Structure 1
Amino acid sequence: MSQAVYEEPSQQIPILVTADVVVCGGGPAGVAAAIASARGGARTVLLENQGCLGGIWTSGLLSWIIDAGNKKGLMREIVARLDRRKARIASSGEDFTYDPEEMKLLLEEMCEEAGVTVMLHTRVVHAAVEGAGRLTLAITESKSGRQAWAASLFIDATGDGDLAARAGCRFDLGRPRSGETQPMSLMALVAGINPDEVAVYTMDGVNETPKARLLERMEQAGQTPSYAAPSLFHIRDGLFALMANHEYGASALQASQVTQATLHARKELHRIIDGLRSLGGEWANIRIVSTANHIGVREGRRIHGRYTVSEQDLQAGIWHEDAVCRVRYGIDIHSTNPDQGKGFGDDGKRSLPYDIPLRALIAADVDGLLMAGRCISGDFIAHSSYRVTGNAVAMGQAAGAAAAIAAIANVLPQHLNGADIAQALQRLEETN
């Protein structure tokens, strides 16, 4: 039986602004891209669907940043400014926790200082491509209705590659043969526990033992979480973040599946916390302060670029002349099939530190489009490594710097001089 359809009347869509660079998605990659672009002298617009900047850092309450230790420029600046706010706790390793609410305000301030035009509550729903294959407009929906945003260059930092897909770019999703994707996780902020009393259950950045201890306590309370390595992170004072669930088999590209994953995850988190509270002792007063507004998505579209970061790159520890990010984080595949385990692993593969080249950030099928964050061009194994947010910031910074140079010079990113980009990135590093 065919599905009923409604034929939407054609309409004229107002072109709200003409910018040099339009960045779609205001998560770690998108914010970095917008700031780098604006600091590079480009008129820059940042479009974000949520009610704050930061994406998984803020509306997703991630609260834990990975692979930031070797990143210069904007990542180092963010760390320094969080420290000045006393909004960050370093771990025994290089990873760290931060206060999500302080992060929201900090990212807004940095965009304002750079001169970025920010539009919240604005979702990209379509794209206009000229006959020659040049992306010319990003189409959005918001309380203001349907609007178009024109620019010389666009950056897709939506995580799921929404702009690129709507512009007609090819993409990959999930494992090569099965299509299975890594599960989603809904973060929660919890309070009512004493940092000293729960220190043995709290992640310190290098030791996995706290996860096993926390799992044991949850099981003692009659709750076996869907994620076999539940993690508790100390944010500040008596505030903690908890990751304890996996939502298997849900596609980030289907709203109904994201919805069901979110509803299921929230119920599970409350059951887990209620169970811990029933144990008494150090858990007697634990409560959920907030669950994330947006479930954490590990895997969406991987847009085809002019270079594909591959498993072989990781194994070889590859270097590139047009490198924009050196990834040190290893292969991290959260179970794609709960029947084969509910934790995480590396599929028996090993990696060395490796480069992401600018070419992997430039769309192959549409001109005038760059990507930043987890939607760049890579295979399943490589994506499991570079997807973490310390790398997202570095990729966004590079995409924004390149877009600004290309827009001002009126050239496509693939025609840029590598030395010019290196100089632009160096200037960003020197602003700290």
Structure 2
Amino acid sequence: MDTPVPSRRNFLQATAGGLFVSASLTSPDTKASDANPGIRMANPLSGDVLRTEAELSPDAQVLKEQPREIPVAGKSEVLVCGGGPAGVAAALAAARAGATVQLIEVAGCLGGVWTAGLLTKILDAENKSGIMAELLQRFAEHGSAVANQTNGTVYDPEVAKFVLEDVCVQAGVKIRLHTRLVGAVTDSNRRVVAVLTESKSGREAWLADRFIDCSGDGDLAAHAGCRFDLGFGEDCECQPMSMLALLTGIDPDAVRPYIRETAPAAKRLLLDLMEEHGLSPSYRAPTLRHLHSDIFSIMTNHEYGVSAFDANAISESTIRARREVHDLVNGLRRIGGPWKDIAVVATAEQIGVREGRRIRGRYQITANDIATGLKHEQSVCTAKFPIDVHALNAHGNKEIDGAFRKGGHQPYDIPYPALIAKDVDGLLLAGRCISGDFIAHSSYRVTGNAVAMGEAAGRAATVSIQQQVMPQELRWDKIKG
């Protein structure tokens, strides 16, 4: 066989069934073997990749990929999918309890909405102990005067990136960034045994004894075949997405009345200022937050009707939202005065997603639980954040009809069984994808609760391995330590 030329070239060959895609390796010093092509491996050092064999249907609507063997990239006792607030806590708790832990994250940093999403404010965290309290202390110690004054709940995303990586590395967690979950495998007993990922290293398999879905959108659970609920009503309407951004060029003292931490009226004052000068943000409660020096964060937009599972829709909403941020900042600059030098430092890498799948668990948290202040003997934490349903559409840009709040709100417990997938074994949940109804989700979804859930899921996963039982066979009040 001739040595292939290392350039972009035609490798599609016409066949009776459509197109055939060659599976030879692309490196000039490697040639395809006559051996089983499935055992050939991509080489991350030389850049070799394993190309795909496939047939294109005659109508060009379907590409049928040929079976191939997938290399096992790692084996751990606990695998955590998603390195956001819940995922970091789950990985830390599992590792500190004695398990070997693999953490897989799609972004180029840990932290999820805290970092890639530029959230800058942690809600419902002050009453939490354990890992949440530890992280707040670290954010305050490494952060600014503002971080200290707010006990770490207003933080610098770059500080968060460093702190989260540091604590995970110190705990012995294996971290894989830039890697997306694309599948899950269950055995004949409906126990999760492996997940599949895609990255620059190609398609890979990861084995573990226990898995924790901290993906936010419940991706691992869905791939494993779990049932789930989504949004509200027959149309599954979900809360809007929002793009956050970092700003500079503002004197904190000169804009103090507009800073969210100054007073509850700050949002209304900022909206009035914008509207007086012809600006109309799609989020009618624009939020300006001071981080340090002349660096601020801002949230000013809503993207309605976007599915968390539609890459095209998310791409379009990201572009729209980023344009809106720049348009609003340019408009503020034209006002002059303290706003004359305002500029965008960065927009979020990931648009903020409020709502995805709610995986069916072994307990479902309901609006009634919030109204009655649920007290549960297997409580992993108490949630105090109120019902917070952002508008489902642009009609008035107001929160959803107040009828949904008629039951009221009291502090309530998040039960351990709500963190255990109902339809498969060996899978725990943490973060906004746990089991709950639409109203309850709008309260427990905030990240202070996500960390506490992750910590519980990580510890439970490790203890279940140590005791050689499935997570649902444990009682949280017996293992919480």
- TM-score, with length taken from structure 2: 0.85
CA shift, 1:18, in A, is 1.3
- Looking at structure 1, the residues matched to 150 and 395 of structure 2 have their Cα atoms a distance apart, in angstroms, of 32
Q: Higher relative contact order at CA 8 Å, sep ≥6: structure 1 or structure 2?
A: 1
- 2:397 maps to 341
Query: What amino acid is aligned across from residue 155 of structure 1 in structure 2?
Result: I
Are 1:315 and 2:355 counterparts? no
CA contact 2:387–2:405 (8 Å) conserved in 1? no
Give the corresponding residue for 2:19: none
Matches within 5 A, 1:139-154: 139-154=196-211
Post-superposition shift, 1:216?
Answer: 1.3
- Name 2:256's counterpart in structure 1: 199
What residue is the counterpart of 1:351 in the other structure?
A: 409
Cα shift readout 1:164-213 (whole Å, capped 9, x = no counterpart) = 001100001101333111000000000000010111000017x3311111
1:289 aligns to 2:360 (yes or no): no
> Is the CA contact 1:318–1:354 (under 8 Å) kept in the aligned structure 2?
yes
Query: Structure 1, residues 372-413: CA drift from partner, whole Å, max 9, x if none?
Result: 000000000000000000000000000001011112222110
CA distance in structure 1 between the aligned counterparts of 2:324 and 2:95, rounded to whole angstroms: 42
Partner Cα separation in structure 2 for residue 109 and residue 355 of structure 1: 31
Q: 1:389 aligns with which of 447, 454, 457?
A: 447
Please tell me whether residue 64 in structure 1 is matched to residue 91 in structure 2. Answer: no
Instruction: Label 1:94 to 1:246 Cα distance change in 2 as closer, same or farther (>3 A).
Output: farther
- 2:429 corresponds to: 371
Match of 2:460 among 391, 402, 417: 402
Report sequence identity in percent.
51
CA deviations on 1:78-116 (whole Å, 9 max, x unpaired) are 111112113473599888310000100000000001100
Which letter maps to 1:288? V
Match of 1:427 in 2: none
Cα-Cα RMSD: 1.7
CA distance in 1, matches of 2:145, 2:445: 22
Structure 1 position 217, deviation (Å)? 1.5
Residues in 1 aligned to 2:401 and 2:96: alpha-carbon distance in whole angstroms: 39
Counterpart-to-counterpart distance in 2, 1:376 and 1:88: 35
The 2-side partners of 1:270 and 1:145 are apart by 36
- Quote how far apart the aligned CAs of 1:343 are: 4.8
Larger radius of gyration: 2
Separation (CA, whole Å) in 2 of partners of 1:197 and 1:405 = 53
Looking at structure 2, the residues matched to 283 and 243 of structure 1 have their Cα atoms a distance apart, in angstroms, of 17
Q: Which structure 2 residues correspond to residues 18-33 of structure 1 after superposition, within 5 A?
A: 18-33=75-90
Residues 85 and 114 in structure 2, CA contact (< 8 A), matched pair in contact too: yes
For 2:145 and 2:367, how far apart are their aligned partners in 1? 33
The partner residue of 1:411 within 469, 472, 478 is 469
Contact 1:92–1:204 (CA under 8 A) maintained in structure 2 = no
8 Å Cα contact 1:226/1:342 also seen in 2:
no
Alignment of structure 1 residues 237-248 onto 2, 5 Å: 237-248=293-304
**1:297-327 Cα shifts (integer Å, max 9, x gaps):** 0000000000000001001101111100100
For residues 354 and 177 of structure 1, the distance between their equivalents in structure 2, rounded to whole angstroms, comes to 28
Question: Any conservation in 2 of the 1:23–1:157 contact (CA below 8 Å)?
Answer: yes
Aligned length: 421
**Distance in structure 1 (CA, Å) of the matches to 2:321 and 2:274:** 16
SS of the residue corresponding to residue 119 of structure 2 reads: coil
- Is contact 2:140-2:151 (8 Å) kept? no
Equivalent of 1:135 in 187, 192, 196? 192
Task: Tell me which amino acid in the other structure corresponds to 2:253.
Answer: D
CA distance 1:343–1:310, shift in 2 (3 Å): closer
- Counterpart position of 1:42: 99
Question: What's the CA shift for 1:348?
Answer: 3.3
Alignment gaps of 5+ in structure 2: 1-58
